[in-house]
Structure 1
Amino acid sequence: MYLEQVKKFTANPILYFVFPVAFIALMVMNYVASEGVDTNELIQQIIKTFGVNGAFIMLIAPLSIGLLGVLFWVKFIQGQTIRSLTTSRSKVDWKRIFFSFFIWGSITTIMTLLAYYTNPESFVWNFKPEKFMVFLILAIILVPMQTSFEEYLFRGNMMQGMALVTKSRLIPLLVTSILFGLMHIANPEVGKVGYIIMVYYIGTGLFLGILTIMDEGLELALGFHAANNLVGALLVTADWTAFQTHSVFKDISEPSAGFEIIFPVLIIFPLLLFLFSKVYKWKNWKEKLTGNLDNK
């Protein structure tokens, strides 16, 4: 079982929290240092200096490189295998990763095209072939590393460590979901839309946590998260988002906090959980999500 299997490793439980705590502390320091600073204006200044692709690399590279850091820490400091950090199966199920990526990538594409055709005045055509191709290469390399870092840190290392210490399933699920959401609090979207958008970030963290626990591995969460950030960045950009890219479309509408935030969390994510539960035959929901670590 994904959470239980860490009991067979002999690392000091404190080691499970060193990397996550260090990362969270760094994020808090960055948030405090940026208080009173217009994050969007800062990003625009970076874009003027280094270009769109240069700014993209500067913003995403630290998190992408963080993937190597967390994998090194887990393998060589904790003495835990990367497979056990990824899944409870005998080997990583790449079909699960690609299936989840395909499902959410398809939904994201359909929703974007529907938004474009129903509200064309909210978008402008932003596609420039040469710039897009350069960005495409950068995004394919860096974005999956960035999203995998967040999954391995929150749904992997931190969730397993908290489960080991608390002997609970629910506590790690809730705590990692909240911390995952709070990690995004310095994003320019928060300043533009308001703190209500944290419902989406925390709700997404909760959804990914449930995926991980119910499916006994990170594969579905890895695929979903990669599709969410990669496909989204390739399709649409806006002047008020964290990632401003050479995408196909540019959203020029004024952002609003309402249906767009609540709809995925309350409608789409539950439907996706239902779909995955049928495909992979999940059972014992209550026991798996709220039971003790020793329960099967």
Structure 2
Amino acid sequence: MIPSLYIASRIIRDRPFSYYSSSRGGWNWKIYLKCLVIPLAINLIYYIGYPLINGCVGPNRLTIPFFIICLILVPLQCIAEEYLFRGFIMQTLGSWIKIPVVALIIQAVLFTGGHMYSMGMIGILYDGIVLGFLAMYTKGLEAGSALHTVNNLLLCYFVALGLGTSSLITIWDFIPGILVPLIYVMLEINTDGLMKKQMNVV
């Protein structure tokens, strides 16, 4: 996906491809890894508490190959989606439409359209808005990519362990999808732009 975006950016020629990563002009792995910590901690609380309250819903199918494949592919998939929706689409729309919130909402709707999960689409739209806000607030894709990666990766392992299901959406399933991004954003805002300082964003 990212090579395709590179080609598209060369066709449009509105900015260097590196600026789709951040206003700093490139991707920063150190920032991405730092940003994994908070959503990982919050999600683990939920994923440990869920089976204690609800028990297992299926057999454990987690295998070492599956664990390794997810560990490699899920972060790449999440980062690629951030490049597409919050990097290429939102930034391109933002350069055409001078009202940032319009570009944010459009990319969130398109992001939702790419994830046809019935009732779960409400949560996907919410995630798209939050991830778009993070990209705008931090002026980069690392923070949103970290949140996106942790959410998808732990969900894969959670379902594989038989502790949850990806087919039946319940109100309880919305809790991590709503609270984790909200807490993550609030922690960033209430720490006086700590993430911004780490990223050297003015």
User: TM-score per shorter chain, which class?
Assistant: 0.7 to 0.9
Q: Distance in 2 between matches of 1:268 and 1:144?
A: 18
Whichever residue aligns with residue 86 of structure 1, its letter is S
Q: Distance in 2 between matches of 1:148 and 1:202?
A: 18
1:255-291 Cα shifts (integer Å, max 9, x gaps)? 24324326632x4322211112234618xxxxxxxxx
User: Which of structures 1 and 2 has the bigger CA Rg?
Assistant: 1
- What is the match of residue 50 of structure 2? 115
Q: Distance in 2 between matches of 1:218 and 1:125?
A: 34
Offset at residue 199 of structure 1 (A): 1.2
- What is the match of residue 174 of structure 1? 105
**2:17 is the counterpart of 1:94:** no
**Contact 2:75–2:149 (8 Å) recurs in 1:** yes
Q: 1:83 to 1:281 in 2, by over 3 A?
A: same
- What is the match of residue 257 of structure 1? 170
Superposition CA RMSD, Å: 2.6
Identity of aligned residues (%): 23
Matches within 5 A, 1:28-67: 66-67=1-2
- What is the match of residue 208 of structure 1? 131
Q: 1:152 to 1:273 in 2, by over 3 A?
A: same
**Contact 1:70–1:149 (8 Å) recurs in 2:** no
- What is the match of residue 277 of structure 1? 189
Q: Distance in 1 between matches of 2:148 and 2:170?
A: 22
Gaps of 5+ in 1: 1-65, 238-246, 283-295
Among candidates 60, 65, 74, match of residue 125 of structure 1: 60
1:61-94 Cα shifts (integer Å, max 9, x gaps)? xxxxx222213332x3334433211011254333
- What is the match of residue 83 of structure 1? 18
Provide the TM-score with structure 2 as the length reference.
0.83
**Contact 1:236–1:250 (8 Å) recurs in 2:** yes
Q: Distance in 2 between matches of 1:72 and 1:143?
A: 23
Provide the TM-score with structure 1 as the length reference.
0.58
Gaps of 5+ in 2: 195-201
Runs of 4+ in 1 over 6 A off after TM superposition: none
When structure 1 is superposed on structure 2, of 272-281 and 153-162 the one drifting more is 272-281
How many residue pairs get matched? Answer: 194
Q: Distance in 2 between matches of 1:254 and 1:147?
A: 20
